[in-house]
Amino acid sequence: QKEVEQNSGPLSVPEGAIASLNCTYSDRGSQSFFWYRQYSGKSPELIMFIYSNGDKEDGRFTAQLNKASQYVSLLIRDSQPSDSATYLCAVILIPTGTYKYIFGTGTRLKVLA
Amino acid sequence: DAGVTQSPTHLIKTRGQQVTLRCSPISGHKSVSWYQQVLGQGPQFIFQYYEKEERGRGNFPDRFSARQFPNYSSELNVNALLLGDSALYLCASSRDRETDTQYFGPGTRLTVL
């Protein structure tokens, strides 16, 4: 089982719709959760992070964390063609005092104009 | 403020050679992490350095090594290059270890022939 799993997509949504991106993780010791956006040929850029159960909103983006079910999701409201990119979920593990920052393979989002 | 910088931008090497990649973190950031990203995959964690000490290591062979300097810049060294080492190498910095919100540099594209 992969430590962080995402559906590779592509996920296609019409402009103005809500895009829902999901991520599951295997280690209950996971402490911090991040969503990054990566355009083709570019490096990842941070969208938002979430540490506690529940929802966290930032503009058009909402991150949701459910530690009991071990999933984290990202909602993008009023999706725009410029949101078309790969969305990476990342999780921090600190097993035995060491540090690992684990990324999923990413979900490719296409917003159709 | 300047973001994370990496050099060189592109690099071509042949099998068996050695390569050194460089990274300068955002001013005030004490932690640097290195990642390898192959096409279609999420970044794979290689190392994290904080205050010049290795604080985390991913599942990479001993051919990969790194260090962090007193000014918090960092180098990643890869010895005995293999074709499979061809990838985008990303450096990310964070203010400290615990907050761990990472900001990525533009990456170094390494091609091994």
Distance from CA of A64 to the nearest CA of B (A): 17
C-alpha closest to that of A111 among A61, A76, A62: A76
How many CA within 13 A on the CB side of residue A50?
A: 22
**pLDDT value of position B36:** 97
Taking contacts as CB-CB distances below 8 angstroms, the residues of chain A near B33 are 101
B16-47 pLDDT, tens per residue?
999 999 999 999 999 999 999 998 899 999 99
CB within 8 Å: B42 and A104: yes
Burial of A87 (0-12, 13-18, 19+ CB in 10 A): buried
A24-72 pLDDT, tens per residue?
998 887 878 999 999 998 999 999 999 899 999 999 999 999 999 999 9
Query: Could you say which residues from 82 to 101 on chain B have a Cβ atom under 8 Å away from some Cβ of chain A?
Result: 88, 90, 97, 100-101
Burial of B68 (0-12, 13-18, 19+ CB in 10 A): buried
C-alpha closest to that of B59 among B31, B28, B36: B36
Which of A2, A8, A46, A101 has the highest number of chain B CBs within 10 A, making it the mutation to test binding with B? A101
CB within 8 Å: A105 and B104: no
Average pLDDT, chain B: 93
Alpha-carbon distance of A98 to A39, in angstroms, equals: 30
Distance from CA of A106 to the nearest CA of B (A): 6
